[in-house]
Chains A and B, each alone.
Chain A
Amino acid sequence: MSLASTRSIAEIRARNKELIEEVLKVYPEKTAKRRAKHLNVHQAGKSDCGVKSNIKSIPGVMTIRGCAYAGSKGVVWGPIKDMVHISHGPVGCGQYSWGSRRNYYVGTTGIDSFVTLQFTSDFQEKDIVFGGDKKLVKVLDEIQELFPLNNGITIQSECPIGLIGDDIEAVSRAKSKEYGGKTIVPVRCEGFRGVSQSLGHHIANDAVRDWIFDKFEPGGKPKFESTPYDVAIIGDYNIGGDAWSSRILLEEMGLRVIAQWSGDGSIAELEATPKAKLNILHCYRSMNYISRHMEEKFGIPWCEYNFFGPSKIAESLRKIAGYFDDKIKEGAERVIEKYQPLVNAVIARYRPRLEGKTVMLYVGGLRPRHVIGAYEDLGMEVVGTGYEFGHNDDYQRTAQHYVKDSTLIYDDVNGYEFESFVEKLQPDLVGSGIKEKYVFQKMGIPFRQMHSWDYSGPYHGYDGFAIFARDMDMAVNSPIWKKMKAPWKEASKAKLLAAE
């Protein structure tokens, strides 16, 4: 039975406030003051969730956040498949981000596609002492020779690059000229910049603007005939094939997707995007910057959408169709109708098994709000949520469209706080990342990775919703959760005595 249904909103609010007070007690005073601003209980009608965000993490706590490099290489640039992305600096960053985000793509890996390769300049001490630009020149030459079908190269800076003052921009310009105008993009995404991966997204977007868009004439002839129905998918990284299960719906309603950013994306698609009639934006946090830029510079409107769960999918399809003519509007209705039997069947099968179950989320990007609708479609209730690297506008969107009154909100939550909250609220499911997964499973709480779908997916679109529902059911209702305690530990003393 869900906690929420047994208590009044006022009671839940009071309990959640109490929980926050309790976790703050463990900190030194200065830290408690800082953390208090990031924890709150949502109040209906407020314009945001009432928490501070996008502020430096506290030193010495187990923050779940990553860094700017993770935001640029791991999220935005890494999935562009026909470019080689150099992890420029020591070996570690590239190694840890190698293949771990499951950005699906089609291509001949190592020949004309490079997403699941780890290219690094593998800095040694002498590169730190004497500077790494010379090595970078050599790295670029070796890539050109050994991977001749690459369509471009990016240089993803790790921490030391900015600290030792390497001029990667100069190297990029010189080598691009030497290679006959090949696109070579230097990205200043050193891990110490900013407070989380979020700045890396912004820096990566700016690099697209400066090193791709500014390099060509948007009035130029496209490689294809434009149509009035050309759109670009922005901010879908194709985790487990998400962008594909989204794209298929857009095409079915009569739109033509001319670019995918950046999952299964290519440099040609990046360059074609200014030809789109509408940019449709899934991950607002990571790609609103470039969408705004395209609006200002090329006059391309953009709209956010949410393809998690049938309610939000239908809402989003209609919203997108609203930018087009009746043909597309009818197309949207046709798509919604076509998939209704699947939606009905999925809900009929899984909702009875999930109705009333409570969920706590802690993810990055858009998911702390976007997936709430999908859970609600299955009768589940999100009782706590927060962003790894959200900004105030994310919390505004969350407050205005997604969370219910009295929901516990935790920004940049750390291991200690998250564990305390979950322990007290005892949700039926936690959705977060790999670092949190095993902690909660040890506590006996079902868990799903909501960054990588636990090697499953896609979760976007109607096809993805069926998988989402199945996965939540298998997590929540796995028989193993009933075996948490050894029988002799559960048995009462009397029974043990009787056994003797």
Chain B
Amino acid sequence: MAQSAEHVLDHLELFRGPEYQQMLANKKMFENSRDPAEVERIKEWTKTPEYREKNFAREALAVNPAKACQPLGAVFASVGFEGTLPFVHGSQGCVAYYRSHLSRHFKEPSSCVSSSMTEDAAVFGGLNNMIDGLANSYNMYKPKMIAVSTTCMAEVIGDDLNAFIKTSKEKGSVPAEFDVPFAHTPAFVGSHVTGYDNALKGVLEHFWDGKAGTAPKLERKPNESINIIGGFDGYTVGNLREIKRILALMGIQYTILADNSDVFDTPTDGDFRMYDGGTTLEDAANAVHAKATISMQQWCTEKTLRLVSEHGQDVVSFNYPVGVSATDDLLLALSRISGKQVPEQLARERGRLVDAIADSSAHIHGKKFAIYGDPDLCYGLAAFLLELGAEPTHVLSTNGNTAWQDKMQALFASSPFGHACQSYPGRDLWHMRSLLFTEPVDLLIGNTYGKYLERDTGTPLIRMGFPVFDRHHHHRSPVWGYQGGLNVLVKILDKIFDEIDRKTNVLGKTDYSFDIIR
């Protein structure tokens, strides 16, 4: 017996003990185990070009897709407004999943309610669930706004949110003037980034276009303010704060639309804040008057930006601005739109990032990378890698479309480091596995699920994106702006140096290269 009170072994060590190993070996006789040689043969076969061809011929099955469903994005956007409770109309299990998923990434509470539809609602529609649900939410959680989205269930049976909310108000669930924006977010269309877009558009439409027919439409009176939209972003805490810092340095008046940076980063001081921070409802309404709206993520905000544009504002979108050029472009756009100068402090920060890249690029130059994640993240990281002299060889986005692919290919064509690079829209991580076996790269960038790829293919994983469940607190540091670029650079370098050390640390064998100076 290996266990002891003084040195408690948990699963990390306990099951490696001989008694457990014996037990697991004994268990095999009851499993219909495959012949180990056969397992080995199939394992090797999955690494071949032949397997890759079959794998890429898949038409129906998705294996380890790198995307989630619409309502998750809707919840993520909704909590970016002051005192807002996301209300998901549909079956309740979904909400349990969204809350868990967000909590596991941010290590924060995630508040959201469901209308808990069951069989009877499937037959008769979910109107009563909406009527009762809004009344309960309003009374219990005292929100300033309830933002409604849907699950696939409500969409399949065709529940009409606009009519339902209207009826609920007539029945007194919430006061007539209480804000209940909504968005239809079927899980069988798009992904979580689509849901973010739809929910954000729903909120802006609500405030700008007459609150679902209960108020006059706002008349735009252009002012000097600029709206900033972050998009669905696992680094929302660090990134939005960095953007605010930059805007303050430049002296720009701004509104962050869906500012969820505080609600996913509340202090531990004895109080649970169900709502914290967020764009005020007044600011959300007044955002119609802004001079322009800048989206940090084009593919997350296509419909929202169309709405903004229709209201007469200039719109500019970026693709997850990481690194020198992307930040340059962002600052130039901010300067152009606001008429404000880029301050010296930011020029110095820029110089420091350039300095850091010059110091370190020898370790990254020519290295091949594979990247997967949301379309904008993939683009932003690939652009940064090209800037570092690296080759983003496979860039895969399960929720990327052909327009994304075209834009990625244009990016590759713009750089001598991009000539052998390929983008893969609509593919999943089982496709990525084939790519990594048949056309190996030096490093992989992606979310936590990439650890299976790292294990199977031996490609070292740099964790970036959403979700990151198995590492802590990365979301608190920015990856946008010059400072963010530095963070990403350090992350990449740390992995490269760790790998060099791991490969050279064998005493008396490989340790001639186990250098202390790099």
Are A and B part of the same complex?
yes
Q: Which of A56, A91, A96, A195 contacts B191 (CB 8 A)?
A: A91
Give B78-96 as 1s and 0s: 1 = Cβ < 8 Å from A's Cβ atoms: 0000000001001111101
- Asked whether B118 lies within 8 Å of A195 as measured between CB atoms, the reply is yes
A259 at the interface (CB under 8 A from B): yes
- Asked whether A95 lies within 8 Å of B30 as measured between CB atoms, the reply is no
Complex Cα–Cα for A58 and B46 (A): 49
Instruction: Please indicate the chain B residues that have their CB under 8 angstroms from the CB of A229 in the complex.
Output: none
B112 to A, closest residue via Cβ: A62
A145 at the interface (CB under 8 A from B): yes
B31 at the interface (CB under 8 A from A): yes
Contacts known (A59-B129, A159-B91); A119 close to B63, Cβ less than 8 A:
yes
Residue with the highest number of chain A CB atoms closer than 10 Å, among B23, B72, B118, B129 = B118
Residue with the highest number of chain A CB atoms closer than 10 Å, among B27, B65, B189 = B27
Instruction: Please indicate the chain A residues that have their CB under 8 angstroms from the CB of B54 in the complex.
Output: 145-146
Instruction: Please indicate the chain A residues that have their CB under 8 angstroms from the CB of B153 in the complex.
Output: 159-160, 163, 191-192
Complex Cα–Cα for A45 and B192 (A): 51
- Asked whether A438 lies within 8 Å of B32 as measured between CB atoms, the reply is no
Complex Cα–Cα for A162 and B121 (A): 13
Q: How close is A170's CB to chain B, nearest CB, in angstroms? A: 17
Complex Cα–Cα for A224 and B452 (A): 34
B69 at the interface (CB under 8 A from A): yes
- Asked whether B94 lies within 8 Å of A95 as measured between CB atoms, the reply is no
Contacts known (A58-B132, A110-B46); A192 close to B61, Cβ less than 8 A:
no
Contacts known (A192-B91, A435-B99); A61 close to B272, Cβ less than 8 A:
no
B271 at the interface (CB under 8 A from A): yes
Instruction: Please indicate the chain A residues that have their CB under 8 angstroms from the CB of B43 in the complex.
Output: 108, 111
Give B53-72 as 1s and 0s: 1 = Cβ < 8 Å from A's Cβ atoms: 01100111111110111011
Give residues 135-181 of A contacting B (CB, 8 Å).
135-136, 138-139, 142-143, 145-146, 148-149, 151, 158-160, 162-164
Contacts known (A70-B96, A106-B24, A142-B58); A82 close to B32, Cβ less than 8 A:
yes
Q: How close is A414's CB to chain B, nearest CB, in angstroms? A: 8
Instruction: Please indicate the chain B residues that have their CB under 8 angstroms from the CB of A104 in the complex.
Output: 11, 15
B24 to A, closest residue via Cβ: A106
Q: Which of A89, A142, A247 contacts B60 (CB 8 A)?
A: A142
Segment of A11-19, A24-32, A396-404, A492-500 engaged in the interface with chain B: A24-32
Q: Which of B15, B59, B93, B152 contacts A67 (CB 8 A)?
A: B93
B465 at the interface (CB under 8 A from A): no
- Asked whether B97 lies within 8 Å of A97 as measured between CB atoms, the reply is yes
A121 at the interface (CB under 8 A from B): yes
Give A118-145 as 1s and 0s: 1 = Cβ < 8 Å from B's Cβ atoms: 1111111101100000011011001101
A303 at the interface (CB under 8 A from B): no
B34 at the interface (CB under 8 A from A): yes
Give A242-280 as 1s and 0s: 1 = Cβ < 8 Å from B's Cβ atoms: 001101100100000111100010111100100000000
A4 at the interface (CB under 8 A from B): no
Contacts known (A27-B136, A345-B5, A484-B270); A224 close to B29, Cβ less than 8 A:
yes
Q: How close is B398's CB to chain A, nearest CB, in angstroms? A: 8
Q: By the criterion of a CB under 8 Å from any partner CB, how many residues of chain A are at the interface?
A: 128
- Asked whether B157 lies within 8 Å of A143 as measured between CB atoms, the reply is no
B1 at the interface (CB under 8 A from A): yes
A304 at the interface (CB under 8 A from B): no
- Asked whether A111 lies within 8 Å of B42 as measured between CB atoms, the reply is yes
Contacts known (A26-B139, A66-B96, A435-B96); A159 close to B14, Cβ less than 8 A:
no
- Asked whether A31 lies within 8 Å of B100 as measured between CB atoms, the reply is no
B21 to A, closest residue via Cβ: A106
Complex Cα–Cα for A142 and B59 (A): 8
Instruction: Please indicate the chain A residues that have their CB under 8 angstroms from the CB of B6 in the complex.
Output: 345, 349
- Sample (7) of A-B pairs whose CB atoms are under 8 Å apart: A60-B140, A89-B152, A142-B59, A193-B118, A434-B103, A442-B272, A484-B269
Known: A26-B140, A89-B187, A128-B156. 16 other contacts (CB 8 A): A56-B118, A58-B132, A59-B133, A60-B115, A62-B141, A104-B11, A119-B63, A142-B58, A159-B153, A192-B122, A269-B31, A339-B1, A348-B5, A349-B5, A443-B271, A484-B268
Chain B residues within CB distance 8 Å of chain A: 1-6, 8-11, 14-15, 19-20, 23-24, 26-27, 29-34, 38-39, 42-43, 46, 51, 54-55, 58-65, 67-69, 71-72, 87, 90-94, 96-101, 103-104, 107-119, 121-122, 128-130, 132-141, 151-153, 156-157, 186-189, 191, 266-273, 430, 433, 449, 452, 456
Chain A residues within CB distance 8 Å of chain B: 26-28, 30-31, 56-70, 82, 89-93, 95-100, 104, 106, 108-112, 116-125, 127-128, 135-136, 138-139, 142-143, 145-146, 148-149, 151, 158-160, 162-164, 191-195, 197, 223-224, 240-241, 244-245, 247-248, 251, 257-260, 264, 266-269, 272, 338-339, 342, 345-346, 348-350, 414-416, 419, 433-435, 437-444, 456-458, 462-463, 466-467, 469-470, 484-486
